[in-house]
Amino acid sequence: MKRSAADERAGLSVAARLLISGTAVMVVMAAVVSGILFSGSDVSVGRAEKADACCWREGVTPAALSELIGIRIPEPATDRRAGHKIGERDDTGVLAFTLPTDDADAYTSRLFRKGTQMVGNLHPQDQDFRPPGGFAHLGLPEPETLVEGLTQGSECPDELTTPEGRHLKTCIDLFAHELGAGVTRIYVKATV
């Protein structure tokens, strides 16, 4: 059966319309997928920023937080900083201060149980690591990202009788970071 010229033109027109329609659908779908991918990353970044800024108690002092944790801040300590983040289940307290390195070494040796040694950061986190209730709230780097000059340890109050540890009311993670020039920053994180 022979097709007329009008049928052929109509056939081309249908093919052209199908091609144009298919291309348009693909362009719209690509735009939708791109929009979802890019807006999703913006949303997750926004959520992370909001989570970092959310729920910090106002006016928390290093003295008040150290009392809550049960850890003494030595007299010669300077650059004292504290934060208390309210969590859904548990709150987190972060405390930081600097000491002369000799005082910091003596302080940590009186805190931990006999025979306990602080260790270096063998598995550092990436520089963009932002844990909930982190030290970034205090304007400090997260100690888990530091390697050079950092030692760390954990302690709990269970039957702890060391001179500095006997007052602990909760478990702590403690980091000591030698800043150089004979100065060490002590970082303390606790669930409060």
Q: What is the pLDDT of residues 74-91, one digit of tens each?
A: 999 999 999 999 998 999
> What's the Cα-to-Cα distance from 53 to each of 30, 91, 104, 128, 189, rounded to whole Å?
35, 14, 30, 16, 18
Q: In terms of domains, do 47 and 112 share one? A: no
Q: Looking at the structure, do residues 118 and 35 belong to the same domain, yes or no?
A: no
Number of folded domains that form the chain: 2
Q: How confident is the model at residue 126 (pLDDT cuts 50, 70, 90)?
A: confident
**Do 50 and 72 have their domain in common?**
no
Q: Indicate if the pLDDT at residue 34 is higher than 70.
A: no
In the numeric block, the tokens 């926004």 are attached to 46
Q: What is the pLDDT of residues 154-190, one digit of tens each?
A: 999 998 999 999 999 999 999 999 999 999 999 999 9
The CA distances from residue 97 to 15, 45, 101, 185, in Å, are 75, 30, 12, 6
Same domain? For 43 and 79 the reply is no
| pLDDT of the residue at 129 | 86
- List the beta strands (DSSP E) in the chain: 78-85, 92-100, 119-120, 150-155, 172-180, 183-191
Q: Does 70 share its domain with 50?
A: no
Range of the domain at 8: 1-54
**Same domain, yes or no, for 125 and 80?**
yes
Q: Clarify whether residues 45 and 114 are in a common domain.
A: no
Quick one: tokens of 131? 């844990």
